[in-house]
Amino acid sequence: MDGHVATLTLNRPAKLNAVTPPMSAALVDAVHWCDHTPDIRVIVVTGAGERSFSVGSDIRELDRYATPWDFRNRTDYCDAIRAARTPTIAAVNGYALGGGLETALSCDIRLAADTASFGAPEITLGWIGGGGMTAFLSRAAGPSNAAWLVMTGERIDAARALEWHLVSEVVAPSRLLDRARELAATIASRAPIAAETAKINLRAAHSLPEDKALEYERDLQTICFATEDAAEGRRAFAEKRPPVFHRR
């Protein structure tokens, strides 16, 4: 934790940060802890080492599930990241494949090293992703590009990921984590209730009809406007000084 920013690192570099069931459970717990720690305002998710963000679930662990139904109802780290109240930033430092791509897609903002690559290789093994791959990939990259990735199993590089709007920015590997933390610090300096509300509103905007999305946005704006932080923002503007927000 650095100031108001927590960094969660997938730490199994020798296996390209492939996620085991204990790692999944630990990530779920870590996200939950961040959400319930008032000082944390932004979460950065990244991978250990220089080669990989994450290649998703460790395939050798999948046969440990007694039945397909047990596999269906497993603890899912992507679900936890998407459900986080706290804004999230993915710092994609290498391979983002399968569940690793889903992990990145589950974050609100994605930055990538110029050495990163992205792919949905599950089809080469006989199945498809189940952690939000099609839903979130098609929203980010568009239906045709999503189909290209999901149906071929082939990878794209960071430049194409930027072109396809999978990521917001591509930087040198040596700058990636610093850049992610700079962005996180900027968000953390804003009113935290407003930032969390913006996250809720952005997610809702994808699933609500336009008239309902506008109505919901107005309601959320009203809630934010009634906070002490909003009053502080107005005072600071009038007094020509930076605001100091307290999550109230």
Active site residues: 102, 122
End-to-end CA distance of the chain: 22
CB 155, CB 166: distance < 8 Å: no
Please say whether the dihedral angle defined by the alpha carbons of residues 112, 8, 132 and 100, taken in this order, is positive or negative: positive
Determine the Cα–Cα distance for residues 68 and 195; give it in Å rounded to an integer.
Answer: 38
Determine the Cα–Cα distance for residues 202 and 109; give it in Å rounded to an integer.
Answer: 12
Q: Is 120 left (phi over 0), alpha (psi -120 to 50) or beta?
A: beta
